Amino acid sequence: MKKKRHITHLITGNRQALAGCIILGVWILLSVLVPLFWPWSYSEQNAELQNQAVSLTHLFGTDKFGRDIFARVWYGAGISLLIGIVSALINGCVGVLYGAVAGYAGKYVDMVMMRIADIIASIPSMLYVILITLVTGAGAGSIILGLCVAGWIDMSRIVRGEIMRLKETDFAAAARMEGLPPLRILWRHLLPNAAGPILVNLIFLIPQAIFTEAFLSFLGVGLAAPAASLGTIIQEARSQMLLYPNQMVCPLIVLCVMLLALNTVGTAIERQLQRGKNL
């Protein structure tokens, strides 16, 4: 309970983190409510509404197929958030487990496990996404799988370092003297004390995954129609950029504000934790 209160205080006690969380909450609500209740569909095409300007009827205008950009942007924001959050949670869980085992076991087990991680990390993560997308087809599942092949390695290294530091403390030594099994020591004593760095890096994994997906979609390796993420919407608007800049500017603003809010939350919590260590 104290740990949960401490994490909650890290957010509510920092104005930057609180502002970022409010923006993210608004973005999540819009990405859920707009596709459900907005009168225009994100995928319905209408030749009579092609390339409409921003208006009260179409808040972000329409694209070259007559689709409402406002509906498409918030539908795409939901897909981008889904990819980012799911891949971050998977990478976080795998990284925490892998790093905790490597850090606590030490010696040869640690050396073998981290060399395996180094081999996997030697190939750029974007290449994994591209290869898996080409083999399994474009889709949110294939993108998440590609992001999770090597996305957990940075988290595992951070957790490994924290566990190696914490297992040498007095309370960890006392727990071992009591005869507690290693799994219980990790779960009840070491990992809770490493929750701060784990939380910060888990938050940073979300914008990293969203940006990677948006970048790959902009290159043409993205979701298959009619599904759309912010990256695919920006890529589709590239040909209309000079004549109808609103088609690219609107999804870009939504994407940039989302990434900025996530990074603001992570940075604010990281600074708060650093201040706590220095006190």
pLDDT at 16: 79
> What pLDDT sits at residue 12?
55
User: How far is residue 20's CA from residue 258's CA, in Å, rounded to a whole number?
Assistant: 9
Q: What is the pLDDT of residue 276?
A: 61
Each residue's pLDDT, cut to its tens digit, for the chain (279 residues) gives 444 445 555 555 577 778 888 999 999 999 999 988 888 888 888 888 888 888 888 888 888 888 899 999 999 999 999 999 999 999 999 999 999 999 888 889 989 999 999 999 888 888 888 888 888 877 788 888 988 998 899 999 999 999 988 888 888 888 788 878 888 888 888 888 888 888 889 999 999 989 888 888 877 777 776 778 888 888 888 888 888 888 889 899 999 999 999 998 888 888 877 766 655
Q: Quick one: which of 264, 260, 259, 232 has its CA closest to 247?
A: 232
- Residues 80 and 78: their CA atoms lie apart, in Å, by 5
Q: What is the pLDDT of residue 159?
A: 93
**Contact criterion met (CB below 8 Å) for 172 and 256:** no
Residue 255, pLDDT score:
92
pTM for the model stands at 0.86
φ, ψ of residue 46 in degrees (nearest 5) = -145, 110
Tokens of 260: 């900025």
The pLDDT of residue 153 is 92
Dist CA 191 CA 96 (whole Å) = 9
According to the model, what pLDDT value does residue 117 have?
Answer: 92
Torsion sign (Cα): 68, 69, 70, 73? positive
Handedness of CA 178, 184, 190, 195 (dihedral sign): negative
